[in-house]
Structure 1
């Protein structure tokens, strides 16, 4: 057990020390603000404050974890051995940087509360982030800092016990359009066929007719192939299905269509299933509740996992809606168009609401790869960068998550390429 002394035990201090020490490194910790208790403790201990109490292991703090709310911060990113960090500290400190304040800044998405320029879809773009501007977006720096802290602690307290964690990978398959032709209704199908004819997509017209007369499977119905992959290689996949009402933003088929429901039930027999929130569910808790109940009625179990279909996180409101509806896991933390670790970590973590200054029960599962990046990167470059990031996550025994769209594996996409990326992530031949 590691005893941590700080003059005032704030919610931010509890949050970030628990994440780094307990969730990443597996060290049981206890906090105290009583000097007598700290001095009397014979085991491993550290103080976190403005100055050391004696000759204990001491980390000098910056003020961020003592503050409330948010304000503009002056941040200078500096090298630290083979990595980087910010919030530098003087030599008297046992660490050259306040990794706890820096980790809190990234995990809480502090910068997303500050004024920023949104992209055309109303999203916080990677280009606005400190990680992108300082070229460390591709590194899970919070985990790297945690392991550097672990090494320093072991030098000082050789008998301190750490829980070992294992490197893991997982894939999310987002199904915004379960079918491309099937069950679309007469009017939508008729308009779609005329659009294909106008654009001279004769192949699609033929496919559409063959699907209608049931001599061919819908090209987007690729779920059996993925289930076979799961069975053969025992890999982890999480499928997200959209069950929104039809609108200009959400164009999936009705949740009442029997083939649609049959696909979801079939997938749920072999893999975890979650909710891909529609456009209005991201803004309106009533719409979110309606979509949640629809999925629960199909799979006959509570919805535990959700993902934002448009990736336009609006913090903390969207996460607070999930908490209110007792949804425990969100998988939206990443950039759809850029590789990297949006929150600076490859470890699941609890979300901290800066507005309320509380640790919420919502667990955030960050992803580092989204198949949409294939639209703006060469194949060789993407595979090379993906390989480098996988190695980074292996080094810290973290969790690498990739996101694919179900249509990536259809005949209308370069499915062999996307399958090769999927296999690269899961290291299967």
Structure 2
């Protein structure tokens, strides 16, 4: 057990020390503000304050974990061995950087609370982030810092117990449109047919007619192929289905359509299923509740996983809505247009609400790769970036998550490339 002394035990200190020490490193910890208790302790101990109390492991704190709310911070990123760090500390500290304050800054998405320029979709763009600007976006620095901290700590306290974790990899399949032609209704199908004819897209016209007369499967119905991969290679996939009301923003088929429900039920027999939130569900808890109940009624089990279909996170409101409805796992933390680690980590973590200064029950599962980048990078660059990030995650024994859509594996996309990337991520021959 590691005893941690700090003059004031704040919610931020509890949050980030528990994440790094307990969740990442598997080191049991206890906090104290009593100097007598700390000095009397003869086991591993760490003080986090202005000055050391004795011969303990000492980290000189910066003010971030003692504050409330948010304000503009001046951050200077500097080299640290083979990685980087920020919030530098004087030589008296046993660590050259306050990795706990830096980790809190990244995990809480502190910078997303500050004024910033949103992209055309209302999202916090990667280019606005410290990680992108300082070229460490593709490194899970929070996990790297944690392991460096563990090694330095073990030099001081070789008998300190910790646990090793295992490297994991998984894929999320998002389905904004379960079908492209099937079950769309007469009016939508008729308009779609004339639109394809007007654009002289005769291939789609032929596909549409064959789907209608049931001599061909709908091109987006690739779920059986992915289930076969799961069965054969025992890989982890999480399927996100959208069950919104039809609108200008959400254009999936009705949740009442029997084939739509059948696909979801079939997938749920072999893989985890979650909710891909529609446009209004991301804004209103009432719409989110309605979509959640629809999916639960189809799969006959509670919904534990959700994802923002537009990735325009409004922190902390959207996460608080999920927590209110007891959806305790979110998979939206990443940049759909840039490979990398948006929160600086490859470890699932509890979300900290800076407005309320509390640790929420919502567990955030960050992803590092989204198939949206396929059209923006060369094949060589794609494979190199994925290989590099996979290696980074393996070295810290973290969790690598990638996001694809069912459209990626259809005939209307470069499905061979997407399958090859999927197999690269899961290391399937």
* 1:118-137 aligned within 5 A: 118-137=118-137
Deviation, 1:56, is 1.4
Does structure 1 residue 329 correspond to structure 2 residue 329? yes
TM-score (norm 1): 1.00
TM-score (norm 2): 1.00
Residue equivalent to 1:404: 404
Could you list the runs of 4 or more consecutive aligned residues of structure 1 that deviate by over 3 angstroms after TM superposition? none
Residue equivalent to 1:158: 158
Counterpart-to-counterpart distance in 2, 1:46 and 1:295: 47
Deviation, 1:375, is 1.4
Residue equivalent to 1:300: 300
Counterpart-to-counterpart distance in 2, 1:326 and 1:50: 40
| CA deviation profile, 1:218-270 (whole Å, cap 9, x unmatched) | 00000000000000000000000000001111010000000000000000000
Counterpart-to-counterpart distance in 1, 2:246 and 2:76: 47
Counterpart-to-counterpart distance in 1, 2:391 and 2:147: 15
Does structure 1 residue 20 correspond to structure 2 residue 24? no
| CA deviation profile, 1:367-415 (whole Å, cap 9, x unmatched) | 0000001011011101001100000000000000000011000011110
Does structure 1 residue 117 correspond to structure 2 residue 117? yes
Counterpart-to-counterpart distance in 1, 2:309 and 2:406: 13
Residue equivalent to 1:175: 175
Deviation, 1:54, is 1.4
Residue equivalent to 1:191: 191
Counterpart-to-counterpart distance in 1, 2:210 and 2:418: 26
Counterpart-to-counterpart distance in 2, 1:256 and 1:298: 10
* 1:117-266 aligned within 5 A: 117-266=117-266
Residue equivalent to 1:37: 37
Q: Secondary structure at the match of 1:373?
A: helix
Deviation, 1:108, is 0.1
Q: Secondary structure at the match of 1:359?
A: strand
| CA deviation profile, 1:130-185 (whole Å, cap 9, x unmatched) | 00000000000000000000000110000011111000000000000000000000
Counterpart-to-counterpart distance in 2, 1:109 and 1:201: 44
Does structure 1 residue 420 correspond to structure 2 residue 420? yes
Deviation, 1:301, is 0.4
Equivalent pairs counted in the alignment come to 429
Counterpart-to-counterpart distance in 2, 1:164 and 1:72: 37
Counterpart-to-counterpart distance in 2, 1:370 and 1:218: 24
Q: Secondary structure at the match of 2:239?
A: strand
Q: Runs of 5+ in structure 2 lacking a partner?
A: none
Deviation, 1:55, is 1.9
Counterpart-to-counterpart distance in 1, 2:409 and 2:212: 21
Counterpart-to-counterpart distance in 1, 2:167 and 2:85: 23
Counterpart-to-counterpart distance in 2, 1:399 and 1:229: 20
